[in-house]
Amino acid sequence: MERTLILVKPDGVKRNLVGEVLARIEAKGYSIVALKMLKADRALLVRHYAEHEGKPFFEPLVEFMMSGPIVALVAEGNRVIEGFRKLAGTTDPTTAEPGTIRGDLARDQGTKVVQNIVHGSDSLESSDREIQIFFPEL
* Residues engaged in binding ligand IDP (CB under 6 A): 52, 57, 61, 91, 113-114, 116, 119, 122
> What are the DSSP calls for 1-42, one per residue?
--EEEEEE-HHHHHTT-HHHHHHHHHHHTPEEEEEEEE---H
Q: How far is the CB of 122 from Mg ion (least distance, A)?
A: 5
Q: Residue 33 binds what, of Mg ion, ligand IDP, none (CB under 5 to 8 Å, by partner type)?
A: none
List 75, 119, 120, 127, catalytic entry = 119
User: Which of residues 123 and 137 has its CB atom nearest to ligand IDP in the complex?
Assistant: 123
First to last CA, the chain: 14
Query: Can 52 be counted among the known catalytic residues?
Result: no
Tell me the C-alpha distance between 60 and 58, whole Å: 6
Contacts to Mg ion by CB under 5 A: 122
Catalytic residue ranges: 119
